[in-house]
Structure 1
Amino acid sequence: MGASLSSLTESESTAANGGRPSLGDIPENCVACVFMYLTPPEICNLARLNRAFRGAASSDSVWDSKLPVNYHQLLDVLPQRENYECVRKKDIFAALSRGVAFDDGNKEVWLDRISGRICMSISTKAMLITSGEDRRHWNWFPTEESRFHVVAYCQQVWWFEVSGSVKFPFPPDIYTLTFRVHLGKFHKRLGRRVCNFEHTHGWDLGPVRYELFTSDGQHSVSEYSIHDSDQDDASAYLKRGGNWIEYKVGEFIVSSSDPATEVRFSMKQIDCTHSKGGLCVDSVSITPSDLKARKRKGVGVSTYQ
């Protein structure tokens, strides 16, 4: 069977294969119809088989089915948009899946390479931080662990509040919004990652409140205590490994990309009876809800990819 399959894939035509049928005999338009049901990585792998498969893998009809319905609106955020007016849909998909930064590089949107659905990340640099300009309370440090290569570090505050917003033509879908945070401050020492919890305090005295609002009236509220051992023992895991975790704020539904959906979000702990500090805030992510598995109660350990 292996030899038979090899002859099918290696031969371009029946004549070249001694009269036996081969994959090269399948009409390109038929291959394109099959490709519409496959994922982009599967299509790219099959394109290596023969000329017909390569031609089908470059077909606009195939890649049009992989792009969001409103991909023309997404092109508006691309620098030099005019360069994409006459290119193949395959190249447009490739450009969008690599990620496109906008809003001075503080926000990034990309297509999931498997499903072709929209994902977004928003840097803390694009958010409003209470007392964020006071270096006694907040500062910034560079790191390769962030998509934006910089994170905000809360040294010590009484009023903790981080908020932001984004207005974007999200394609119809159900989205989950999360905050990505890190307990303690990390750095490299002799090539090893080391976490410092010297200034980490106050988070066990009250929960952090997360909220989101959308322009069409949707509202979601969540509260988590970073030191709550009931959340899959998340705090103990953090103190041992010093990992990033994502706190789920909530979900929102987009039924139409016109008009664009505005999403406002916040993370706060404004109980001024005690101070708190020693927390890094990296970004907010907006992702189709079924693309990423979440831990119970919305808390999941994560790494930057």
Structure 2
Amino acid sequence: MGAGLSSLLDTRDDNGPGLGELPENCVAVILGRLSPPEICKFAKVNKTFYGASLGDVVWETKLPSNYEVIVSKLCSECSKGVSKKDVYHMLCGPIRFDAGTKEMWMERKSGKMFMSISWKGLRITGINDRRYWSHIPTDESRFHSVAYLHQIWWLEAEGEVEFNFPAGDYSLVFRLRLGKSSKRLGMRVGNYVDKVHGWNIKPVRFQLSASNGQHSSCECFLKEVGTWKNYHVGNFTVGTGHIPIKIKFSMAQIHCTHTKGGLCLDSVIICPCESVEGS
């Protein structure tokens, strides 16, 4: 498409101007049908295309339908008087909120919204007791640290979030790893898989409930050692009413017949369903 449009820009005939001399408002209509990377590419064609590429009418089509509500919650102070293009780049973030325990961003190409909730934003059994947990700095996490479980009899990790998600279908996953490991400055530090125990005796139970009545639950054994894995808890759907939805979620292994340990807990991720299906 890019090659075809570029050739048209230089095309003239005796009946009138070429495509390169279209009025700016007409160019804006064309750009509004392109993806953000394509818009930025064609902004280099000439001054008319560059001027059109800055227009609100172009970038508003790339924003979530309820972007004004999202912006008012996440970055209302820094969004006053800015263009729709700036709002787009602002939402591509990431944007931290709730004392830095949550992060939200928009995927540039699709315009879909994602949210990550740090382990620091969850209620976790014994999380501040060093007999059970360590807090490990690492660049393998968006939040630059993970919680590592040494050993415990009763494990529960639960949380909730209320937000005006754009209409669509979403999945919720827990990002976990069996085995203590971290990276600093690109170098892997430690990999204590011998400390992993107890997860093959009883399954972990995951649950999700939404304020609109949707519920999900599942059980699974944690098996894969040495790699980060997203454990899918369930899906929920957000309607077009632009009202906030509250999501509650949890993971638990509360069978006290044995101890379990060697688990890294990073975060909970809320993302469009197709992102999970495609991973």
Q: Which piece of structure 1 moves more, 41-50 or 266-275?
A: 41-50
Aligned equivalent of 2:149: 154
1:34 deviates by: 2.2
Mapping for residues 177-188 of structure 1, pairs under 5 Å: 177-187=172-182
> Structure 1 CA distance, aligned partners of 2:119 and 2:234?
19
Q: Tell me by how many angstroms 1:192 deviates.
A: 4.0
SS of 1:31's partner is helix
Q: Does 1:56 align with 2:52?
A: yes
**1:289 and 2:273 are equivalent in the alignment:** yes
4+ runs deviating over 3 angstroms: 3-9, 17-23, 187-192, 291-294
CA deviation string 1:62-121 (max 9, x = no partner): 111111111111112334x23322111000000110221100011011111111121111
Question: In the alignment, which of 80, 92, 98 is matched to residue 87 of structure 2?
Answer: 92
| CA shift for structure 1 position 29 | 2.0
Compute the RMSD of aligned alpha carbons.
2.6
Q: 1:148 to 1:266 in 2, by over 3 A?
A: same
Q: What is the CA distance between 1:243 and its match in structure 2?
A: 1.8
Please tell me the residue identity of whatever aligns with 1:259.
I
Secondary structure, aligned partner of 2:217 = strand
Task: Identify the match of residue 132 of structure 2 among 123, 137, 141.
Answer: 137
What residue number does 1:200 align with? 196
Deviates most, 146-155 or 255-264: 255-264
Structure-2-length-normalised TM-score: 0.90
The Cα of 1:282 is off from its aligned counterpart by: 0.4
Counterparts of 1:178 and 1:4 in 2: how far apart (Å)?
A: 42
**Identical aligned pairs, as a percentage?**
47
User: Which of 108, 133, 136 matches 1:113?
Assistant: 108
Quote the Cα distance in structure 2 between the aligned partners of 1:110 and 1:4: 33
Residues 1:163 and 2:158 are matched in the alignment: yes
**Structure 1 equivalent of residue 250 of structure 2:** 266
For structure 2, the 5+ residue unaligned runs are: none
Deviation at 1:124, TM superposition (A): 0.5
CA gap of 1:290–1:190, structure 2 versus 1, over 3 A, is closer
Tell me, yes or no, if the aligned pair for 2:171 and 2:276 is still in contact at 8 Å: no
What's 2:230 paired with? Answer: 246
Of 34, 40, 59, the match for 2:30: 34
Q: Partners in 2 of 1:111 and 1:176 — Cα distance?
A: 15
- TM-score, scaled to structure 1: 0.83
